[in-house]
Amino acid sequence: MMNQEVKRMPLLGDDFPQMTVQTTHGIKNLPGDYKGKWFVLFSHPADFTPVCTTEFVAFQERYEEFRALNTELIGLSVDQVFAHIKWEEWIKENMDIEIQFPIIADTGKVADELGLVHPGKGTNTVRAVFIVDAEGKIRIIFYYPQELGRNMDEILRAVKGMQTSDEQGVAIPANWPNNNRFGDRVIVPPATDVETAKQRMVDAKAGKHECYDWWLCHKELKK
């Protein structure tokens, strides 16, 4: 008897799986239609549920901030497109918020591909978040239980942090850009050889950055 191939959830650094999906904005090809842009794909358990409604409102309220970072939003749940459209109408009529980003109407195939259905939670998708860069690489994955609504400011911060890391070749400290000790300063990646470690301290004396030690140096963010 042949063993069935076991699908695994995509990992950080993987290419986002290629797929064609039905959305409230028509058929889209992922990640191809977003080439050159970052995108945040987030799943929610179901339409017309209270926590999910608060999340969609919160995402929409920050949509322009995401777009300013060359980043698009894409929602997803195992609901028909008709339910998505009706839910959008309800949000507009009752909360005065128009959802402007697409929502994937999944039959279960996309959720299966991305590992979004928890075995103990029936067929509803969990609150997962995939942050995908402009080359279609998965850079961050958040995975929340159904009971806990997400913090959109943290997702926005994560996109900013990864883009800053890529652009400036630095690492990002805890709670950046509001770290209690470093503020919005960034971390110089630690040295991996003796000569670089020595040079770090020389550069610190020259004012290129500040160091607690050769392995913990920080500097101003390039504006």
Q: What is the mean pLDDT of residues 147-159?
A: 95
The whole-model pTM stands at 0.90
- Any idea which fold 19-150 has? Glutaredoxin (3.40.30)
Query: Which CATH number is correct for 169-223, 2.40.40.20, 3.90.700.10, 3.30.1490.20, 3.30.1020.10?
Result: 3.30.1020.10
Residues marked active site are found at 52
Q: Do domains 19-150 and 169-223 have the same CATH topology?
A: no
Is residue 2's pLDDT more than 60? no
What's the CA gap between 141 and 129, in Å, rounded?
6
What's the CA gap between 40 and 201, in Å, rounded?
39
Q: What is the pLDDT of residue 115?
A: 81
Domain boundaries defined on the chain: 19-150, 169-223
Is the sign of the CA dihedral 48, 131, 69, 160 positive or negative?
positive
| pLDDT tens column, 47-56 | 899 999 999 9
- Phi/psi for 72 (5° steps) reads -105, 160
Q: Quick one: which H or E segment has residue 83? A: helix 81-95
